[in-house]
Each structure stands twice: as structure tokens, then as C-alpha cells.
Chain A
Amino acid sequence: EVQLVESGGGLVQPGGSLRLSCAASGFTLSSYWMSWVRQAPGKGLEWVANIRQDGSEKYYVDSVKGRFTISRDNAKNSLYLQMNSLRAEDTAVYYCARDLPYYDILTGYGRGYGAFDIWGHGTMVTVSS
């Protein structure tokens, strides 16, 4: 079964750090761009960051640049989100999501363009004193 399982959420004080993990199973993680998407309580979805198959490209929403770092270990079938200098507004459920490849007909390379077809169940991060 194709599955993503997040872990690592919890309660942290403002200014603190957390590292989220996302374990992939049932598919080859190294073939996909991966993203983190969050949802504050009662609010909408917000894309947070993504990472290329080999980790060579990473992109972030402006609000987390310089504070969050996305990474992956394909050998361990795992995706990570290191979150530093946490703020109250970072409180949310954090989902990891697989991005369906959009294949370039010339190069055959599959890039992720936001077709998040597999999602984890999410892990809650609460930033509060």
C-alpha cells in the first residue's frame, strides 16, 4: 500500500525547534518531488516547502524562509522538515505530500508541479508558551 506517515509534532514554546519526519512506503521515494503542506486550525491549506528527487533543489514559502529546512534521505525512504525559531503562527497540522511527476517529453525528467496525489494523515504542531 502506498502510504506516507508523519511524526514528530508536538507542543513547543515560541522560539523553539522541532523536526518532523515523513516515512514513505509502497513506492520509490527517490522518484518523486515531495512537499510539506500545513493547515492551521480551522483554516485553509498552505504550501510550505518542496524538494527535488535528489535534494538538489528546495523551495519555500516566504514566511518560513531562513527558519525551516526541508531534507530527505531516500535510502531511509524518509522526508524531513526542520523547524527553527517557531512562532505562534506556525501552529498547524503539517502534511507531507507526494507530487505526481510531469514528464518533459524531451528529457524524460519528471518534475513535480503541484499534483499532490498521496498525503499523510498529518502531525500537529502547536507553538505556545
Chain B
Amino acid sequence: QSALTQPASVSGSPGQSITISCTGTSSDVGSYNLVSWYQQDPGKAPKLIIYEGSKRPSGVSNRFSASKSGNTASLTISGLQAEDEADYYCCSYADSSTFVFGGGTKLTVL
């Protein structure tokens, strides 16, 4: 049950695209297409932005997309906007019916 590995921080200018990686193991990300992604503003509860690998909940912008290759999942935000500045977390279903989160990535919009 080790945390998934995410970069501590990423940055980009408005209009650009950024990608946040989320690396796990064959016991979690690699074995299940059940990665979810969350956006968290300071002092607020997390918000689901991607689930089941690449699905977007109703109301989430199509600027958010996700994919997976092997043990690594990735979140891409295109057309970066100032409002996207937040912390982002990945989460994967894992063996033994548990879940594991990533350490979180702070996105700065320059």
C-alpha cells in the first residue's frame, strides 16, 4: 500500500497543455483500469474530475483527459486556465480491494 508517485509540482502558461504522471505498480495501476483523478483547491474537499481511467463526470470540462500505459497513468489539462491552479491527486484501485492515492501534484498557472 505504498502511495502512487506523482511529481510534486508542474507549471504552465495559460493556453498551454500540461501532463501529470502517476506511477504505481502491477498491484494497482498496472492491473486495473480504475484510476481516478481529483482536483483540490486549498481548504476545500477534493473534486472528482476523471474516473475509471478516462471518464469525465458530468460538468467537468473536456479540457481534462487521462490515459494509462503500463504502471503509469497520466492526466492532461489542455488550454490551461488560471482556474486550473490547484492540487491534483490520482487514485487507483489495488489488490486486496483497497485504494491508494498519489502524493499529489501542485499545478501552478504562470
Contacts and interface: CB of A to CB of B under 8 A. Distances in A.
Given A45-B104, A116-B36, 8 more contacts: A35-B99, A37-B101, A45-B91, A50-B99, A59-B97, A114-B34, A115-B48, A116-B46
Interface residues of A, number: 24
Contacts, number: 68
A62 interface: yes
Interface residues of B, number: 28
A61 B1 contact: yes
A59 B48 CA distance: 21
Contact of B38 (A59, A116, A120, A122): A116
A59 B32 CA distance: 18
Contacts of B34: 102, 113-114
A119 B46 contact: yes
A104 interface: no
